[in-house]
């Protein structure tokens, strides 16, 4: 879906473009302009303070420094990082690093963000903080978030959950009104199927 690998069959359509028919150069531009990535290991550059890490995509895109810094600071405030922007990654907690990586993924205002086990290395409070930020940007900015997770609690923040087994969709469930009820349904499905969530 993220366009890094080409599908063996079928089509992937993002913002009206069929990704399977685009050239490598067109896919690279689409990823730069419309897709954000959040990795489990943060992938922040140790040689740069947090604010520079966050605004790096804008800098590489030729954005003016003043505009980049303004956007970076605004996102950092949303994610509770305003007091940490001069710190280097080694000076930050795991939760702060992951929220910084999330800001970097959002700085180009992508239509969709792919998050690979974003809470996998976080404690429960940091996980909850990050998931609440995801819910906020999904609601306010209409940014679609596709998250791969084995964690039922993280999955319960989604509006839709697809359970995969051996590369196939086994089940699709819709959240409804109550997150607690959704969480319990996910746990029940995991127990019944003996399957990891993805």
Long-range contacts of 121-128 (CB under 8 A, 24+ apart): 121/40, 121/41, 121/94, 122/94, 122/95, 122/98, 123/94, 123/95, 125/95, 126/93, 126/94, 126/95, 126/98, 127/95, 127/151, 127/153, 127/154
Q: What is the pLDDT of residues 86-129, one digit of tens each?
A: 999 999 998 899 999 999 999 999 999 999 999 888 888 888 98
In-domain check, residue 126: yes
Structurally, the chain folds into a number of domains equal to 2
| Same domain as 144, residue 189 | no
Q: What is the mean pLDDT of the chain?
A: 90
As a three-state string, the secondary structure of 151-197 is CHHHHCCCCEEEEEECCEEEEEEECCCCHHHHHHHHHHHHHHHCCCC
Of the candidates 102, 108, 103, the residue with the CA atom closest to the CA atom of residue 60 = 108
Residue 155 lies in a domain: yes
Q: Which domain holds residue 154?
A: 149-198
Do 165 and 192 lie in one domain? The reply is yes
Question: Are 17 and 85 members of one domain?
Answer: yes
Higher-confidence residue of 52 and 130: namely 52
Asked if residue 8 is part of any domain, the answer here is no
Do 116 and 160 lie in a common domain?
no
Whole-number pLDDT of residue 193: 79
Residue 107 lies in a domain: yes
Gap between the Cα atoms of 118 and 185, Å rounded: 22
188 found inside a domain: yes
pLDDT value, residue 196: 52
Give domain status of residue 75, yes or no: yes
62 and 140 both lie in a single domain: yes
Q: What percent of the chain has pLDDT over 70?
A: 97
pTM: 0.86
Segment 6-33 mean pLDDT: 89
Residues 22 and 76 in one domain: yes
70 and 91 in a single domain? The answer is yes
121 found inside a domain: yes
């Amino acid at each position: 879906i993220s366009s890094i690998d080409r599908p063996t069959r079928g089509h992937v359509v993002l913002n009206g473009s069929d990704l399977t028919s685009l050239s490598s150069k067109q896919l690279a531009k689409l990823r730069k302009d419309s897709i954000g990535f959040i990795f489990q290991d943060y992938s922040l550059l140790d040689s740069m303070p947090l604010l520079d890490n966050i605004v790096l995509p804008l800098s590489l895109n030729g954005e003016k420094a003043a505009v980049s810094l303004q956007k970076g600071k605004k996102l950092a405030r949303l994610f509770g990082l305003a007091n940490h922007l001069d710190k280097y990654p080694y000076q930050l907690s795991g939760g702060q690093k992951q929220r910084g990586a999330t800001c970097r993924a959002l700085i180009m205002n992508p239509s969709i963000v792919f998050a690979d086990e974003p809470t996998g290395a976080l404690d429960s409070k940091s996980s909850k903080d990050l998931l609440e930020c995801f819910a906020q940007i999904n609601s306010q900015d209409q940014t679609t978030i596709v998250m791969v997770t084995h964690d039922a609690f993280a999955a319960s923040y989604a509006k839709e959950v697809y359970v995969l087994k051996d590369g196939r969709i086994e089940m699709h469930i819709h959240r409804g009104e109550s997150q607690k009820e959704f969480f319990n349904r996910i746990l029940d499905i995991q127990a019944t199927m003996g399957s990891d969530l993805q």
